[in-house]
């Protein structure tokens, strides 16, 4: 980038000052964007990997010490990004150096290996010895803490530290920049620059891309490949010469040529191409490591078929204007422009161009020879990502492309056509762009798929409990007085970060983890409510929840009628063996539960083991054991806690029965008496609020979910009939304070050996908190394993 392009944003502002006491701070807008992209895309896509081959007498311990010193100096490399429990959003927290494990021997050196942004570290390294004088140095950073502008600083300091040179303390840290940036943006800069972006991108095309080989998928996988070519040296020199003559930069010339090429091949006059630009707009930031890059949308109007020289002049001026308005984070630009959105394409642009400059400057020790290892990606963030950089052998042209859209042969042909057009316009920059021939005809463009739309509901007011919850939540998040079923989240002022908060609240309220793409697929209150309800009624895959560690055979516990497994937490910790629990996942019958839960158990452990559960959980565990024995001949021990053989002839519960039984079960589970048994859902909600079991916002949705799960399990157990006679060992712990019609609760009728029974003090709920429960279970478990 030329010096002319690096002018400071307009307006005066206070300088950035250092505060050494800061260990937790707001994130920068760039970090917020990276956090959002990591949440919404393929994990590992925003990693920056670098592998270098070091030949010579490398001092490996000194190299490790040098990396540790650089990470210690630049706090951002020891930072993690966490989501606040309150309304503060994402925060960055600096971890102590001793908690930052940089050299991970289990890492295979692949850049795509995901980072955990909340635990870190967000930089990892590995040194592999190939020979006494030949080493591979693998490095990977998450983009939230590092960018292309950080590389010269990092490598310069790394080699100085390796040589043992003294490094002065950084004048400022990245947290200082983040705090300064947020204060500056809050002062009106953000709104002024956002208005400029709204004017600049008003009416821009939805898609700017090249003709593809296949239709655009509704949900891209981000699978990709990379093509690398050498820009002919005559072309590189021609770019430099024209840039100098026109007061531009290498980046501007190539960008203008790419815009012209896309316009020609895609047959569209209005072209938008993205470009990550450096936000190091102040001199204090030149030696700071961190993420300063902001993605800008460059727009070109070629409807008048200008000459390349004229088009380059417009591109140059446009890029200079971009630097005056680069402080608006890209997601805010998208929210301001509010283009049509779809999970099928990225908003505003689908192609990017990046110029990384000269990557050969590393200030390496004279006794070492360091070369970059050629690594190729297998992912693609966009349709095309075009990158140029200068290495020791010349200018590299890289094209990272989406393999779901393009074949490799097509990309190579288009790349050759682009280089041909670039050479032609450099040779005759005053000729109209349309008069420059392309070397091959372009195929017809493939249209993007249309997303299916649900029919619009007739009613305007929220109807279902889920819609009512969402309406209250939208009112709170968006600060609007009223929300209708057809209202659009983004039209009401929503944006990507608020969308993340919205989905987090949905996850906490309903226990469903919706993908972020649902924000764009289900933008209205009605459609988002439908998506949540579908998720709630779709059975999930049964998974084992570890409850306790220990030695010996594992014990697997099935959920009671309420569906949760928290009731097992206390006893599990006291058993001394590995304990796993199976939570309800929305299955309708005991038979379906037994098959799904048995599959989860069989993948995790082999006999000897035992299964069991409290109340309904014991019934399902018995059916699991019966089915396994019928298939394999292996009879597992079954340990039940106050479980009864179901009576299929029992009368179905009324709505009042359902609500009152659920209230009793819920209250006992949380250790709270809910008072006189409620008989309606409204009474239940009110009683729960009075006892502090629910937050004021959206309580109906949570109760509905818990009540629905209770009802599904209750009907499943009522319809179930135990068949056959089980030959395995069955143990039953009874609640001594409950009336009994049969000493063994009916299990003797469906087993071939006597049922081992023991009574403990307490009623059906109290037996689960009896202090004798854990040692009794442990004794029965040991007997069952020992005697089979």
Please tell me the predicted confidence (pLDDT) of residue 300: 95
* Structural element, H or E, at residue 138: strand 134-142
Please tell me the predicted confidence (pLDDT) of residue 153: 92
Please tell me the predicted confidence (pLDDT) of residue 702: 59
Please tell me the predicted confidence (pLDDT) of residue 12: 40
What span, in angstroms and rounded, lies between the C-alpha atoms of 387 and 499?
A: 31
Please tell me the predicted confidence (pLDDT) of residue 6: 34
Question: Which residue numbers in the chain have pLDDT < 70?
Answer: 1-14, 41, 84-88, 357-362, 374-377, 439-459, 496-497, 517, 537-540, 605-608, 669-671, 692-705, 787-788
Q: Which two tokens stand for residue 90?
A: 């994402």
Contact assessment for residue 274 and residue 297, using Cβ atoms and an 8 Å cutoff: yes
Q: Which of 51, 284, 59 is nearest to 153 (CA)?
A: 284
Please tell me the predicted confidence (pLDDT) of residue 9: 37
Bridge partners (DSSP) listed for residue 134: 55, 131
pLDDT in tens, 616-655: 999 999 999 999 998 888 899 999 999 999 887 777 778 8
What span, in angstroms and rounded, lies between the C-alpha atoms of 117 and 36?
A: 11
- The DSSP-derived string for 538-585 is SPPPP-EEEEE--SSSEEEEE--TT---GGGHHHHHTT-S-EEEE---
Please tell me the predicted confidence (pLDDT) of residue 4: 35
Please tell me the predicted confidence (pLDDT) of residue 597: 92
Please tell me the predicted confidence (pLDDT) of residue 361: 57
Contacts 24+ apart (CB under 8 A), 663-670: 663/687, 665/560, 665/561, 665/562, 665/710, 665/765, 666/562, 666/693, 666/706, 667/691, 668/765, 669/562, 669/564, 669/566, 669/567, 669/765
What span, in angstroms and rounded, lies between the C-alpha atoms of 135 and 309?
A: 48
């Amino acid at each position: 980038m030329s010096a002319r392009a690096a002018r400071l944003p307009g307006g005066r502002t206070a300088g950035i000052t250092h505060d050494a006491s800061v260990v937790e701070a707001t994130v920068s807008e760039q970090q917020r964007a990276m956090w959002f992209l990591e949440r919404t895309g393929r994990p590992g896509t925003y990693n920056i990997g670098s592998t270098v081959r070091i030949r010579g007498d490398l001092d490996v311990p000194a190299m490790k010490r040098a990396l540790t010193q650089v990470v210690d100096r630049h706090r951002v490399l020891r930072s993690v990004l966490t989501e606040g429990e309150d309304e503060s959003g994402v925060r960055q927290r600096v971890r102590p150096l001793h908690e930052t494990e940089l050299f991970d021997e289990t890492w295979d050196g692949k850049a795509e290996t995901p980072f955990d942004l909340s635990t870190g570290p967000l930089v990892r390294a590995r040194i592999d010895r190939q020979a006494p004088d030949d080493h591979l140095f693998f490095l990977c950073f998450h983009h939230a803490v590092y960018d292309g502008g950080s590389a010269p600083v990092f490598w310069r300091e790394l080699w100085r530290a390796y040589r043992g040179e003294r490094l002065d303390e950084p004048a400022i840290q990245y947290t200082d920049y983040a705090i300064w940036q947020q204060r500056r943006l809050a002062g009106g800069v953000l709104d002024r620059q956002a208005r400029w972006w709204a004017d600049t991108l008003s009416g821009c095309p939805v898609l700017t891309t090249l003709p593809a080989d296949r239709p655009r998928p509704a949900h891209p996988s981000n699978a990709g490949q990379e093509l690398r070519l050498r820009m002919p040296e005559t072309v590189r020199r021609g770019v430099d010469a024209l840039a100098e003559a026109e007061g531009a930069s290498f980046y501007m010339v190539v960008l203008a040529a790419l815009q012209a090429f896309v316009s020609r091949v895609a047959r569209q006059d209005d072209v938008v191409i993205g470009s990550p630009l450096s936000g190091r707009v102040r001199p204090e930031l030149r030696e700071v490591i961190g993420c300063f890059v902001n993605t800008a949308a460059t727009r070109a109007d070629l409807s008048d078929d200008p000459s390349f020289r004229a088009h380059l002049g417009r591109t140059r001026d446009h890029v200079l204007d971009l630097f005056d308005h680069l402080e608006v984070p890209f997601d805010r630009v998208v929210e301001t422009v509010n283009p049509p959105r779809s999970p099928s394409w990225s908003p505003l642009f689908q192609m990017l161009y990046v110029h990384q400059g000269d990557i050969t400057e590393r200030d390496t020790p004279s006794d070492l020879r360091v070369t970059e290892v050629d690594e190729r990606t297998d992912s693609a963030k966009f349709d095309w990502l075009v990158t140029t950089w200068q290495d020791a052998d010349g200018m590299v042209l890289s094209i990272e492309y989406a393999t779901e859209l393009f074949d490799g042969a097509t990309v190579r042909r288009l790349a050759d056509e682009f280089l041909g057009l670039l050479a032609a316009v450099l040779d005759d920059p005053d000729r109209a762009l349309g008069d420059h021939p392309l070397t091959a005809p372009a195929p017809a463009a493939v249209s993007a798929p249309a997303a299916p739309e649900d029919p619009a509901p007739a009613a305007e007011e929220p109807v279902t409990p889920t819609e009512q919850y969402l309406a209250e939540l939208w009112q709170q998040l968006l600060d609007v007085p009223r929300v209708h079923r057809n209202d659009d989240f983004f039209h009401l002022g929503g944006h990507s970060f608020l969308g993340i908060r919205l989905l987090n609240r949905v996850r906490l309220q309903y226990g469903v983890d919706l993908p972020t793409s649902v924000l764009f697929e289900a933008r209205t209150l009605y459609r988002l409510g439908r998506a949540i309800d579908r998720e709630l009624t779709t059975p999930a895959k049964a998974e084992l929840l570890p409850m306790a560690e220990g030695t010996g055979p594992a014990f697997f516990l099935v959920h009671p009628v309420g569906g949760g497994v928290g009731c097992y937490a206390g006893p599990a910790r006291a058993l001394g063996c590995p304990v796993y629990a199976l939570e309800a996942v929305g299955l309708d019958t005991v038979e379906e539960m037994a098959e799904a839960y048995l599959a989860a158990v069989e993948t995790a452990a082999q006999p000897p083991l035992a299964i069991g559960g409290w109340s309904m959980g014991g019934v399902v565990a018995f059916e699991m054991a019966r089915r396994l024995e019928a298939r394999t001949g292996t009879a597992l021990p079954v340990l039940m806690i106050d479980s009864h053989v179901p009576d299929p002839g029992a009368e179905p519960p009324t709505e009042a029965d359902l609500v009152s039984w659920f209230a009793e079960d819920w209250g006992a589970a949380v250790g709270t008496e809910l008072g006189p048994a409620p008989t309606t859902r409204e009474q239940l909600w009110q009683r729960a609020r009075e006892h502090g079991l629910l937050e004021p916002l959206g309580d109906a949705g949570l109760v509905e979910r818990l009540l629905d799960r209770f009802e599904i399990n209750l009907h499943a157990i009522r319809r179930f009939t135990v068949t056959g006679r089980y030959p395995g060992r069955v143990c039953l712990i009874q609640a001594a304070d409950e009336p009994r019609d049969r000493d063994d609760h009916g299990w003797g009728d469906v087993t071939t050996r006597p049922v081992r029974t023991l009574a403990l003090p307490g009623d059906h709920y109290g037996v689960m908190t009896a202090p004798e429960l854990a040692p009794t279970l442990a004794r029965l478990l040991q007997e069952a394993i020992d005697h089979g």
